[in-house]
Structure 1
Amino acid sequence: MKKVIFGISVFLFLYLSFSLSTSYAQRKFTLSGVIRQSSNDKPMPRAAIYVDETGYGSLSDTLGRYQLLVPKGTFNITVSYQGFFTKHQRVDIENNLHMDIIMDEKASDLDEVVISANSASQNVKRLETGVTNLSIKNIKKLPTLLGELDIIKSLFSLPGVASVGEGASGFNVRGGNIDQNLILMDNAPVFNASHLMGFFSVFNPDALRDMNFYRGGIPAQYGGRTASVLNINLKDANAQQFAGQGGVGLVSSRLMLEGPIIRDKNKDSRMSFFVASRYSYVGYLFKLLPQQNIKNTKADFYDVTAKVEFRPTKKDKIALTGFTGFDKFKVAGDSLANLEVNASSSLFNWRTTNATLAWVHSYNAKLNSKISGIYSRYDANIINPDSALAFKLESNIIYKNLKLDFNYLPSETQKIDFGFSTIDYQIQPGKLSPQNIASQINPITLRNENAIESAIYLNDEYEINKKFSVLVGLRYSYFMNRGTGYIYNYQAGLPKSIETLTDSTFYANGKITQAYGGFEPRFSAKYSLNENASIKLSLNRMRQYIQLISNTTAALPTARWKSADKYVKPQIADQISIGYFQNLSDNKIEASIEFFYKNLTNVADYKDGANLLLDNFPEASILQGTGRAYGAEFYIKKNIGLLTGWMSYTYSQTQFLVKGQFEEETINNGQYFSPNYNKPHILNFIGSYQATKRISFSTNFTFSTGRPITYPSAKFYVGGLVVPYFANRNQANIPNYVRLDLAMNIDADPYKIKRFKGSWNFSIYNVLNTRNAYSVFFRTKTRYAQYYNRVDIYKLSILGSMIPSISYNFKF
């Protein structure tokens, strides 16, 4: 695999040099303009436009602008956008021509918010593999948990995506851990995308414009993670009139307001805004329950998303985006074993704060640029109010990024993206402090970690002919750990532990303690068998320099982040995927099958019994090795008709090999084992039936094999107690997971023209009432004679019963 990647990286430079020098004998002219909505003159990003006679086309940019190179003559132009009537227009090309295009909405789709602006044939024509787009219109019809629409939960229905269970934060993609997914909201990373310990996501669906999910064929502008990229763009504010929408559910309510701020004399908005907020009241529901300890549980959150856009000229757009979300979760009891602290209650708080300032500029019809300044901060803490043991444990990560991106269109058959980025990381992994003067807690502060990650990239997408297209890309990243404090040294020839620690080296602030870097080549190719079928191939290398440190099945919000350093090396993933894509019945049905293989380097696991909370020597507990992930993904989707939906099936295996120099640094006797999130078989079915213009029914069925777990292989009697003995790691599985959900949606009448429109969603989560196991634990029962004692197995279910819900949504 490494030789293949190296060969691709050499080929990239040769290919780019050739493609950039390509010339054309026939002179061509530029056809450009802006694609807008007829109802409010709002620009339409990512609308598909192409020339019928040549078959060449493009997508409009974030300002709705398009540009095509067309030879002299008369041509038919076609523009398409989901939820709008397809536009056909005839043009005469004699010189460069500027032509704005106005699109009309379909009457039956007036309330649709599209998360994918690709035309139906993009399943076959799109170059990359492992890319899936979903429509918010379809997601809104899905059954929900307690009436809360969740973008992250919708990803679980896609091939290659899994979760360890309900109430778990994050998601796993093609053998990757939850921290190996790059989640971006308007270019700002989201380090914890979960509300309420993973039950809901932080993304307000009212504020979203589109979403791109990459699990293979990842373009070179993305880096820093090894599994996937979830890129979420916020919507553009309504530039013509004041409007709003929202909803009321069992656990939360939401409201979004938008409208123009400044208009020019031509009544075109030059500045507009939107503010979207959610507030939950789950804590009030707990107070209605009879159990006293549950009544004291707190589980509430809120989030606010805002955006201001300013268009000083037709060639410029300046946007300021802000997001903040806060959670508090109080449980009746908890323990921090390594601190010997037993708390009567623990209050978990975590907050995400993001801000993005971006300036998009169009130099001409062929060249655009975007400069962005990005800030992201994630804070988490645990508070114990007990007077004698009162403490506060806090941690945070701060991310600052400056990036510059360029889009260049030298011809209608070629698109080039290039740019650079530099990121500053500041990590406080843990700080323990007493909460009052009577507390017996001793303060502990782990040293800060500071690092710089820089990258430069180049993508070249080139259509060689109507059948064969390629995308070649190259990214070079360089990471510097800048020390502040002591770096510990260990005795050579012995495993790292506090017993083998010899001395330490002090590094002043800004001093580079360790540096890593390397090329990350990307390559994709597509061969069209005909108009409705294609074969695609992708290869890519990804490097990850920071990782989440947690040896629990589902990381708590307070899990610490760790940067690569002298002992912890960056993770590397080399992936190859190949797929066959077919559209049927005049693009009404999409079908695909993809195969992938990943080679994993420096994957991280932990020593048996490692406790990483406030660990001053994490390098002594972290073990790194190699791994592999492989599988097949089948996906079929019906787009048009009264009955729509999709089905996905995934077979995958992920295996790690951690074989150190010493027995203490070896897992599973140096044999391959599966991580605790590995699920070989996952089957999902999503269906929606439009019974009438207003009423629709939908269902969601999911099945997956149980994730790995370590069962005891023997028991010992120690001091009169029975102690289970655990041998090889993750050699068994918890029971399989099965769930069926149902929903009914009552929409507003699409043919009635009125300012205020409302809709209802009725859902039943877990209709089969299955008690799916989240985890399995073991307990020893004491009998009247010692030799009768036995170790019994129990399963823990997070949501082990049927849960109905109702929500009301409105728009004005």
Structure 2
Amino acid sequence: MISTKKMLILILLGFMPFLSFSQKRVKIKGTIKHNQTKLPLFGVNLIITENGIGTSTDSAGYYEMTIPTGSYLLEISHQSYFKKYQKIDVRRDMVMDYVLDEKVNELEEVRISANSSEQNVKRLGTGMTTLSSRTLKKLPSLLGEIDIIKSLYTLPGVTSVGEGASGFNVRGGNIDQNLILLDEAPIFNSSHLMGFFSVFNPDAFRDFNFYRGGIPAQFGGRISSVLNVNLKDANATKLSINGGVGTISSRLLIETPIIKDKMSMYVAGRISYIDQLMQVIKIKRLAGSKANFYDLTAKLEYRPTTKDRISISAFQGKDQFKLAKDSISAIDDNGDALYDWRTTNATASWSHYYGPKFSTRLVGVYSNYDADIINSDSLTAFKLNYNIVYKSIKGIATYNLNPKNEIDFGFQFNRYDIQPGLMEPTLPSSNKNLIRLNPESGIETAIFVNDKIEISKKVNLGVGLRYVSYQALGASTVYNYEAGKPISFLNIVDSVAYDRGKVVKSYGSFEPRLSLNFNISASSSLKFSANRMKQFIQLLSGTTAALPTDRWKLSDTYIKPQMADQFSMGYFKNFKEKSSEASVEVFYKKLYDVVEYKDGETLLLNKFPETAILQGDGYAYGAEFFVKKNLGTFTGWLSYTYSQTRIKVAGPTEEETINNGKYFPPIFNRPHSFNAIGSYQVSRKVSFSSNLNFSSGRAITYPASKFYTSGAVLPYYNSRNQSQIPNYLRLDLAMNIESHPYRTSGYRGSWNVSLYNVMARKNAYSVFFRSKNPYNQFYSKVDIYKLSVLGTIIPSVTYNFKF
């Protein structure tokens, strides 16, 4: 037996490696500010190079950390400022304030990541990209506007169904499977002018994080990706104005302090004048058409103390679009259809810094998306309205357990209220009847936790878990269908009515998240990520590209939530002192209950949407290659993606089965995608950039034959989406001219000249068939035609200014 005294000695010896009797620990703290404006800087990293102890500044530019007494070299760094090294000798608690110089007009400023190039290797997880506004300004632009959504197309794993289409497709997912946030507020339609512009004002946003793999647990509700757009901070110390005047639209941002060092705000606006241009440049085939938009973005920040930050942001956008004798209306082909859609968002947040280990953030969100189709034809005059209202409260806390372990945890409560369709006649002569679909409501509640652990110098682990609960609410009517027969309004046997607020259907699910980073060396790493995501709201669209008035549908008794399990692995490498980098990622995604549609069914104003919707399982897989040059007079990147997506819908009856129960590609499946982005800095004043894009054609269903029945000639379709439209190829060029490249204050101006689609290629948006002789269609030869949206060179000139 070991005596008690010996046992205590052994225990004490066991703890000796963790005890230090020789060094006293002291606290250093202070603020980091901009050298000229003296504004506090958020996210500045401070690291003691000798022992790796570090921290970051909060929203007030404040930092605090505890270290042993001694002499050290302190490294202070931020992606937008010059790195600083400071020798410090610490013997007692000290206050150390520093200022940083901003990087202005560096030739090396073109970055696809707002973080340092080291983050390509060091950060956790795969499939994550950060783009800054400064990076986007170097890219060629359509109609003179830099665009967040268009920039995503240059990244591996991201495609679209065609030119001018709204939304984007990520790793085999549909456009509604992407969560798009603007300062935490969801964007249900991210486009202006049916996809030619995005709703994000380039002057108002700071950067964005784009997750297509390795998605943190605080994000949920979509199964493909998360685009988190962050508005710039309102940190004005004096009045400043900047904007741009272009051939299609103009922008203006005004930023001003309200209370010195306490409160500031900015307002940014954009407006187009395409209607006025069409009146000046008279084009006969566009007579009677209409296209215009505007948006306003505003942010107010209040810093009552050094540890508190309150911000309120708001966004409003409005579009009108009409093609004379429009033929894309799902209701009527005879009259002119005006598409009118509006987005109104508001976000309020409060951040509090308790100390170097603990901070919290509380966010409240309101979002309202409203869309109309208006037909003014005297015989069929109507207004069709669709509306979705979203309200959310989200709380998140960050706790630094120690320098090697950081925990995030929180909750989120979302409520959806949808008006899926209200059609009213607008003239006494109209033959349209009043149609009002029953509204839908749902509540989504989630709790989540993330834990980032530095296991060793070579291994970092990220573990996350999200539990989400969803309830579909009344008032609603649930129809019961005859067993053994297809779900059709002809087979309704009875119905059950639910009162307002009554729970109609509930779903719940755990969503685990895992990320692992193994640092092979200081310049290379191997990463792995796994995600499970669920989605309780889906976009119902019967067209190739979503229309503004397409219907969002909540999960209910018949429409199950979509789900995806994604696994991805990647190898990341930096070269030549981080001047270049490369990566390769592979992914596999298993899909459950994804939405497809019965042939020939109508979605708009359908009182029984479950009779038109089918759900099936599927999978997606692919490989993504990426090479980027960060430094030098010539910068840019190459990306290539190979991917395939397959869906299988095998229902209990023939009417509820697609493609005989065999796998088929969805319409957005494009196996090959290649992008080449380049920027050449000729001088401090002049730079040139280019964008080359190639992608294989999307999937499409061609008719196999035609037949004659009941006096009409009808096409016969065999298997769904077994063909492809022609490949897509486009080259864009741009030139940027800085009039005062050396100025850091005062008036500054720049010119952007862009040529979109330099080769004037008539890329196919879709392919259709038509008989040569419309009066003898059965015996007449059928010709193939392609529809091109932008089939020529589009020049643009924009003058940007700031003072």
Band of TM-score, shorter chain:
over 0.9
Task: Look up the SS of the partner of 1:540 in the other structure.
Answer: strand
Counterpart in the other structure of 2:692: 701
Counterpart in the other structure of 1:314: 306
Shift of 1:45: 2.6
User: What residue identity is the alignment partner of 1:763?
Assistant: S
Aligned mates of 1:717, 1:767 — CA distance in 2: 45
Sort the Cα spacing of 1:302 and 1:592 in 2 relative to 1 into closer, same or farther, 3 A: same
Aligned mates of 2:296, 2:494 — CA distance in 1: 48
Q: 1:144-178 deviations in whole A, cap 9, x for unaligned? A: 11111111100100000001111100000011111
Question: Is 1:562 aligned to residue 559 of structure 2?
Answer: no
Question: Is 1:233 aligned to residue 224 of structure 2?
Answer: no
Contact 1:715 1:722 in 2 (8 A): yes
Shift of 1:115: 8.7
Contact 1:47 1:117 in 2 (8 A): no
Question: Is 1:659 aligned to residue 650 of structure 2?
Answer: yes
Counterpart in the other structure of 2:257: 260
Shift of 1:492: 0.9
Question: Is 1:164 aligned to residue 161 of structure 2?
Answer: yes
Shift of 1:128: 1.7
Residues 721-730 or 253-262, more deviating? 721-730
User: What residue identity is the alignment partner of 1:531?
Assistant: A
Within 5 Å, which residues of 2 pair with 1:195-234?
Answer: 195-234=192-231
Residues 781-790 or 657-666, more deviating? 781-790
Task: Look up the SS of the partner of 2:741 in the other structure.
Answer: coil
Contact 1:173 1:228 in 2 (8 A): yes
Question: Is 1:807 aligned to residue 798 of structure 2?
Answer: yes
Contact 1:764 1:803 in 2 (8 A): yes
Question: Is 1:84 aligned to residue 81 of structure 2?
Answer: yes
Q: Find the partner of 1:678 among 653, 669, 672.
A: 669
Q: Find the partner of 1:177 among 162, 174, 178.
A: 174
Aligned mates of 2:787, 2:471 — CA distance in 1: 43
Aligned mates of 1:474, 1:785 — CA distance in 2: 63
Contact 1:288 1:295 in 2 (8 A): no
Task: Look up the SS of the partner of 2:589 in the other structure.
Answer: strand
Shift of 1:336: 7.8
Shift of 1:116: 4.9
Question: Is 1:761 aligned to residue 752 of structure 2?
Answer: yes
Within 5 Å, which residues of 2 pair with 1:93-132?
Answer: 93-94=90-91, 97-109=94-106, 116-132=113-129
Sort the Cα spacing of 1:272 and 1:722 in 2 relative to 1 into closer, same or farther, 3 A: same
Counterpart in the other structure of 1:186: 183
Counterpart in the other structure of 1:7: none
Residues 120-129 or 73-82, more deviating? 73-82
Shift of 1:748: 2.7
Question: Is 1:276 aligned to residue 276 of structure 2?
Answer: no
Structure 1: state its 5+ residue gaps: 1-22, 264-268
Shift of 1:482: 0.6
Contact 1:576 1:598 in 2 (8 A): yes
Shift of 1:100: 3.2
Contact 2:619 2:647 in 1 (8 A): yes
Sort the Cα spacing of 1:433 and 1:151 in 2 relative to 1 into closer, same or farther, 3 A: same
User: What residue identity is the alignment partner of 1:81?
Assistant: H
Aligned mates of 2:420, 2:354 — CA distance in 1: 44
Percent identity over paired residues: 54
Shift of 1:44: 2.3
Sort the Cα spacing of 1:33 and 1:119 in 2 relative to 1 into closer, same or farther, 3 A: farther
Sort the Cα spacing of 1:32 and 1:751 in 2 relative to 1 into closer, same or farther, 3 A: same
Question: Is 1:634 aligned to residue 604 of structure 2?
Answer: no
Counterpart in the other structure of 1:483: 474
Residues 534-543 or 720-729, more deviating? 720-729
Contact 1:83 1:109 in 2 (8 A): no
Q: 1:505-553 deviations in whole A, cap 9, x for unaligned? A: 0000000000001100001010101110000110110111111111211
Aligned mates of 1:361, 1:218 — CA distance in 2: 25
Within 5 Å, which residues of 2 pair with 1:117-516?
Answer: 117-263=114-260, 269-334=261-326, 339=331, 341-516=332-507
Shift of 1:784: 9.2
Contact 1:116 1:210 in 2 (8 A): no
Counterpart in the other structure of 1:747: 738
Sort the Cα spacing of 1:177 and 1:65 in 2 relative to 1 into closer, same or farther, 3 A: farther
Shift of 1:142: 1.4
Question: Is 1:794 aligned to residue 774 of structure 2?
Answer: no
Shift of 1:41: 1.7
Aligned mates of 2:777, 2:564 — CA distance in 1: 51
Aligned mates of 1:318, 1:181 — CA distance in 2: 28
Shift of 1:459: 0.4
Aligned mates of 1:762, 1:368 — CA distance in 2: 45
Within 5 Å, which residues of 2 pair with 1:476-625?
Answer: 476-625=467-616
What's the TM-score once normalised by structure 2's chain length? 0.95
Shift of 1:138: 2.6
Contact 2:384 2:422 in 1 (8 A): yes
Sort the Cα spacing of 1:466 and 1:511 in 2 relative to 1 into closer, same or farther, 3 A: same
Counterpart in the other structure of 1:6: none
Task: Look up the SS of the partner of 1:206 in the other structure.
Answer: coil
Task: Look up the SS of the partner of 1:527 in the other structure.
Answer: strand
Aligned mates of 1:359, 1:334 — CA distance in 2: 47
Contact 1:693 1:749 in 2 (8 A): no
Contact 2:440 2:476 in 1 (8 A): no
Residues 483-492 or 196-205, more deviating? 483-492
Q: 1:343-362 deviations in whole A, cap 9, x for unaligned? A: 42111010000001101011
Shift of 1:65: 3.8
Question: Is 1:687 aligned to residue 684 of structure 2?
Answer: no
Shift of 1:496: 0.1
Sort the Cα spacing of 1:35 and 1:718 in 2 relative to 1 into closer, same or farther, 3 A: same
User: What residue identity is the alignment partner of 1:194?
Assistant: S
Structure 2: state its 5+ residue gaps: 1-16
Aligned mates of 2:597, 2:390 — CA distance in 1: 26
Shift of 1:91: 2.9
Aligned mates of 1:625, 1:492 — CA distance in 2: 20
Task: Give the number of equivalent residue pairs.
Answer: 784
Aligned mates of 1:338, 1:194 — CA distance in 2: 20
Q: Find the partner of 2:762 among 758, 762, 771.
A: 771
Contact 1:330 1:345 in 2 (8 A): yes
User: What residue identity is the alignment partner of 1:801?
Assistant: T
Q: 1:406-438 deviations in whole A, cap 9, x for unaligned? A: 011121111110000101110111100011333
Shift of 1:29: 5.3
Aligned mates of 2:774, 2:420 — CA distance in 1: 45
Shift of 1:296: 1.6
Residues 742-751 or 635-644, more deviating? 742-751
Counterpart in the other structure of 2:8: none
